[in-house]
Amino acid sequence: MAMKNPKTKRFDWSQVLRDEARITDVLLTEELATKLNLSTGSVSKALSRLEKRGLINRVADGVYLNKLVRDHSATDFISVLKADSYVSLESALSHWGLSTQSPVTLTCVTTGKPKEYRTPEFAITFRTISKRLFWGFVEKQTRYSKYRIAEPEKALLDWIYLCLQTGVTPSLDEIDFNPVDKQKLIKYADKYPGTVRNALTHSLAFEHFAA
């Protein structure tokens, strides 16, 4: 547990970081203030000093990465940054083996506003999806926390949907349909606009897969 130095009456913040590294790689200003019985302002100033020393990196307002944790994961920050979100699109396609490309940025969808977060360690982008399409994900466990990721079929449909939303033609012929459950894909596709279903069913890759 972090101790106060009796001479300076200040917390040993290096010890705080070591203590936190045992349980999480995410540092939250308000959570630390409550845990240490300090004001939010005091904790904010301390974290700013730690950032200048290169011990932590700011991810967003009140959210920091503890660099004492070596095996940190961008997925630990997803629910902290956007509670109404899940990993999808290119990242989920890669995770499930539908795509051989490994995106540098962790791609997520949210019912909130679109946003991108960048640190020297990772980048996370959130794209907006309709609330009526916020389903079709499973929960995964990391060392420190849990996050949600779209099922293979849902990730594929999200990707087609958002490609079309931005005027981009999805490269479906580059998708490996083998990990996909055909019946589930067709069932899920019925919940999307007709343009998504048309783009899917008219691709040569899907026609070969569905045959």
What CATH number is attached to the domain comprising 52?
1.10.10
Please name every residue paired with 84 in a beta bridge, in sequence order, or none if there are none.
none
Please check whether residues 112 and 17 belong to one and the same domain.
no
Please check whether residues 86 and 41 belong to one and the same domain.
no
Please check whether residues 198 and 124 belong to one and the same domain.
yes
Please check whether residues 107 and 191 belong to one and the same domain.
yes
Please check whether residues 59 and 103 belong to one and the same domain.
no
Query: What is the pLDDT averaged over residues 22-43?
Result: 96
Q: Residue 200 pLDDT > 80, yes or no?
A: yes
Query: What is the pLDDT averaged over residues 150-179?
Result: 95
Give the per-residue pLDDT at 2.
55
Please check whether residues 199 and 109 belong to one and the same domain.
yes
Give the per-residue pLDDT at 207.
75
Please check whether residues 8 and 58 belong to one and the same domain.
yes
Please check whether residues 56 and 91 belong to one and the same domain.
no
Please check whether residues 83 and 57 belong to one and the same domain.
no
Confidence of residue 6 (pLDDT cuts 50, 70, 90): very low
Give the per-residue pLDDT at 4.
52
Q: Is residue 211 part of a domain?
A: no
**Cα–Cα distance, 18 to 24 (Å, whole number):** 10
Q: Is residue 33 part of a domain?
A: yes
- Domain stops at, among 66, 89, 114: 66
Collect all residues with Cβ–Cβ distance below 8 Å to 60 and sequence separation of at least 6.
81, 117
Nearest to 106, CA basis, from 135, 131, 140, 134? 140
Give the per-residue pLDDT at 208.
75
Give the pTM.
0.91
Domain enclosing residue 23, as ranges: 4-66
Please check whether residues 119 and 103 belong to one and the same domain.
yes
Query: What is the pLDDT averaged over residues 105-133?
Result: 97
Query: What is the pLDDT averaged over residues 122-126?
Result: 98
